[in-house]
């Protein structure tokens, strides 16, 4: 992988933004890539905004994603989409809860991992990298629910990727 991939995960305190970025960074590391990650979570314990930048590639020099250069913007809280949209590059992909459609997650607390499942469709990580990340980042008692949510996200991501490919010339 010659280029650096820039991903921003955004949401509100308590939605698992930091956990999602930890899983993503761990998966990139398990895929053999250089990874840098940063977080902004000033008032997160009071439900304030939380952002985490994850960058990976052959060599990454800075953990911060410059404004307008995110290849992917994963937003866990729908009301945070417009606040964070300027981070996305013109060809970037917005991943938000509405992409999961009418699918209800068995455990709503797994929304962050379901959105990682959507994102995973675009990333070159083998399934083993994601499994290693889940092993490293998730307690055994919550693994099954999160793996089920990840699978729901993969299905939704495949539908969205197909839709975007059909509208892009």
Cα separation, 84 vs 73, in Å, equals 8
Percentage of residues in the chain having pLDDT higher than 90: 83
Least confident of 46-50, 132-136, 139-143: 46-50
Q: pLDDT at position 115, please? A: 97
Query: Global pTM?
Result: 0.92
Scanning the structure block, which residue is given the tokens 């991939």?
Answer: 5
By the 8 A CB rule, do 148 and 109 touch? no
What mean pLDDT is predicted for residues 18-41? 95
By the 8 A CB rule, do 37 and 17 touch? no
Cα separation, 160 vs 162, in Å, equals 5
Q: Strand, coil or helix: what is 163?
A: helix
For Cα atoms 60, 7, 132, give the angle at the middle one, nearest 5 degrees.
80
């Amino acid at each position: 992988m010659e280029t650096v991939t820039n991903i921003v995960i955004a949401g509100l305190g308590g939605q698992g933004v930091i956990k999602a970025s930890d899983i993503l960074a761990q998966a990139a590391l398990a895929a053999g890539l250089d990874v840098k990650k940063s977080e902004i979570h000033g008032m997160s314990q009071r439900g304030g905004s939380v952002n985490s930048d994850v960058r990976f590639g052959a060599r990454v020099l800075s953990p911060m994603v410059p404004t307008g250069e995110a290849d992917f913007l994963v937003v866990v809280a729908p009301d945070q989409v417009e606040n964070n949209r300027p981070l996305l590059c013109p060809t970037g992909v917005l991943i938000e809860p509405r992409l999961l459609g009418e699918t209800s997650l068995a455990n709503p607390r797994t929304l962050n991992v379901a959105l990682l499942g959507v994102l995973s469709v675009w990333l070159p990580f083998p399934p083993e990298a994601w499994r290693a990340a889940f092993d490293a980042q998730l307690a055994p008692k919550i693994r099954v629910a999160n793996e089920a949510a990840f699978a729901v996200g993969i299905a939704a991501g495949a539908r969205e990727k197909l839709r975007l490919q059909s509208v892009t010339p």
